[in-house]
A and B are shown apart, each in its own frame.
Chain A
Amino acid sequence: MAGVNIRSVAKTFGETQVLKGVDLDIRDGEFISLVGPSGCGKSTLLRIIAGLEQQSDGNILLDGTVVDRMRPRDRDLAMVFQSYALYPHLTVAENIAVPLLMRRLNTTERSLVGGLLPSGRAKREEIAEEVAKVCDALSISMLKDRKPAALSGGQRQRVALARAMVRKPSAFLMDEPLSNLDAKMRVQARGEIAALHRQLGSTFIYVTHDQAEAMTMSDRIAVMMGGEILQVDTPDQIYQMPQDLRVAEFIGSPKINVLQAAMSENGALSLTSIDTASNPVHAAFRPEAARLAGEVEAPLGGTIHHIENLGADLFVQVTTVNGDLVIVRCDPAGIRPAIGDKVGIRLDETRLHVFGSDNRRIAGAFRLEGGR
């Protein structure tokens, strides 16, 4: 069990700055996701925590101890790789046994003659038992004698998980472990990993570019972009109170609607007369915070350009008079709009987010001006 503290960690590769002084406190037993687009530095940060990469600046603390100079072996962390990194020439059982063999057996016991030493043999039997236990827990016992090449993607992922679990590390690091699975398997594996976290109670640090994985599994999410952490919060807060326009845009599917807006002194927003704006801002609202209305009385209007029917939801894409694309969620049970219809869009003003030109959230209540 260990909390992880990241203190202004920076990393440069030659000229490029991959991490620009990241601070993050991960609580003991927490499931935290590092989420962001590719190249945002999330994997680099994970590798620095693991000790596979050395930071250019800053400190990593495990359980309150600075581990900057410590090798991965001594940090008591386990990692699941995107490629799973299973040893292709070893069977499933042998793969899972490696972390135990490497730590418990000395050089002689690991060598060819080691099997003859009584001490080595006793340890090997003990290890085989623990491997069997982990295999049972993940229901991969029937795969024990297979080589990784003979496994499906989902099975490999479980074996990689088993290899990480077998040592009972203080924290798990996961580098996009589900990205090689098909969509169906991914949803199933998401549930399994979350359940595993609840069962083990260990710290999980989970790197992903998939906001759905981050939202569904995490206690907290750290959204990273351009080598910085933009916001660390619970999934609810990240979704409902994004502190940065880039966070708002990254989290949520379909994407949040972002429109240019003009804000007057008294906090009134105009989505239409933006050319003369003294104070240009971004107004953002999620598809479910908007609804279709009659053409005249709405603050925003346009033509329906496309309708995505997902069964439970209808996502109506409206091209506004300004040429922006706005997505509105509709209830499929209601009146079905048709492509080409001219519609108005009404917004729930309490769920309207306003971001300044520096992408930061502008707090306060806003009122939309209707006039068109």
Chain B
Amino acid sequence: MSLSASQSRAGLALIAPASVLALLFLIAPLSSIFVLAFTDYQLGDRSLRFVGLGNFRALAGDSTFWKSLSNTLIYSAVVVPGSMLLGLVSALLIDAGTSLRSFYRTAFFLPVMASLLAMAVVWEFMLHPSFGIVNATMKALGFAPHNWLKDGGIALYVLAIIGIWQSFGFNMVLFMAGLSAIPRDLYDAAEMDGTPNAWARFKLITWPLLAPVTIFVAVTSVIRSFQVFDTVHALTQGGPNKATEVLLYTIYAEGFEFFRSGHAAAITIVFIMLVVGVSLLRFVSLKKNGASA
């Protein structure tokens, strides 16, 4: 089908605002990051010099970067399954219950809406080694108190738990939407067909029919967990001794504390590659599902 000249002019005029905005706020910054990653630019410098792959070579030998990358992956490996499982279980419980559904939904979704930075302050109080409620509870129950955020062995996991608390409500809402799309009749049919218990019904109907939602939740959870920054910045600043150094925090520190913009841009490229890689996984799995259905 060919368009008349006036139609194509109108089309161009209609996509122009969006294209200009995308160019200005998405493509331009992204390309400048790509350019910067190959220079020795420092924030405030008047000149820059291309160094080729120099920044990436430096990264390869930089223990902070590797620590940061592995911390991010560990954080992700805890938060993603944790927040997905908790989100699914709470969605199933709310879906099965009859009363107070909207209350639970709102309550569990609250951390998602709240400013994580403000919430981090609350967590800091709760985790305070001497007067925090967490240690008080531990003591009352007869366990040894911990210096939660200053102990290099557990600080990252404490942040991961805060991450789960913060993000499972979002997954819950997505799972609930997925659950509401499953026809009730199927559960009646399964009941007639003799499924012995709720677990069998879950395996027969809920889990397979939630698969597309689960894939979506997994991918968004991974990407969101890669983006952890607020809690690190507010609670640990990457410490103690880089135990909670994560990619986004390293980028921030390199770029805005040490002003090594080229270096920061190189880490950003690695970060973008990770996110794009995960998104591609989702794309591939969606295509596979689409082909088989």
Chain A residues in the interface with B (C-beta under 8 A)? 47, 50-52, 71-73, 77-79, 81-83, 85-89, 98-99, 102-103, 107, 110, 147, 149, 163, 167
In the assembled complex, 19 residue pairs joining A and B whose CB atoms fall closer than 8 Å, in A order, are: A50-B192, A52-B192, A72-B191, A72-B192, A72-B194, A73-B195, A83-B185, A85-B183, A85-B185, A87-B186, A87-B189, A98-B190, A98-B193, A99-B193, A102-B194, A102-B196, A103-B194, A107-B196, A163-B193
Q: Is the CB of B192 within 8 A of A79?
A: yes
* B48 is an interface residue with CB less than 8 A from chain A: no
Q: Is the CB of B186 within 8 A of A85?
A: yes
With a CB–CB cut-off of 8 A, which chain B residues contact A52?
A: 188, 191-192
Interface size of B as a range: 10 to 19
* B293 is an interface residue with CB less than 8 A from chain A: yes
Tell me, in angstroms, the Cα distance from A295 to B188 when the chains sit together. 60
Q: Is the CB of B188 within 8 A of A73?
A: no
Q: Is the CB of B185 within 8 A of A81?
A: yes
Chain B 182-206 interface residues, beta-carbon cutoff 8 Å to A:
183, 185-186, 188-196, 200, 204-205
Chain B proximity of A5: nearest CB distance (Å): 20
Chain A proximity of B180: nearest CB distance (Å): 16
Q: Is the CB of A87 within 8 A of B192?
A: no
A83-B183, A85-B189 known; A73 and B196 CB under 8 Å? yes
Q: Is the CB of B293 within 8 A of A149?
A: yes
* B161 is an interface residue with CB less than 8 A from chain A: no
With a CB–CB cut-off of 8 A, which chain A residues contact B185?
A: 81-83, 85
Tell me, in angstroms, the Cα distance from A77 to B192 when the chains sit together. 7
Nearest chain B residue, comparing its CB with the CB of A73: B194
Residue of B183, B189, B209 with highest tally of chain A CB at under 10 A? B189
Q: Is the CB of B183 within 8 A of A78?
A: no
* B208 is an interface residue with CB less than 8 A from chain A: yes
Chain B proximity of A91: nearest CB distance (Å): 11
With a CB–CB cut-off of 8 A, which chain A residues contact B192?
A: 50, 52, 72-73, 77-79, 99
With a CB–CB cut-off of 8 A, which chain A residues contact B209?
A: 88-89
With a CB–CB cut-off of 8 A, which chain B residues contact A79?
A: 188-189, 192
A73-B195, A99-B194, A110-B200 known; A81 and B208 CB under 8 Å? no
Q: Is the CB of B191 within 8 A of A87?
A: no
Q: Is the CB of A102 within 8 A of B188?
A: no
Q: Is the CB of B188 within 8 A of A89?
A: no
Tell me, in angstroms, the Cα distance from A163 to B293 when the chains sit together. 21
Nearest chain B residue, comparing its CB with the CB of A98: B193
Chain A proximity of B114: nearest CB distance (Å): 37
Q: Which residue from B194, B204, B211 sits with its C-beta under 8 Å from A87?
A: B204
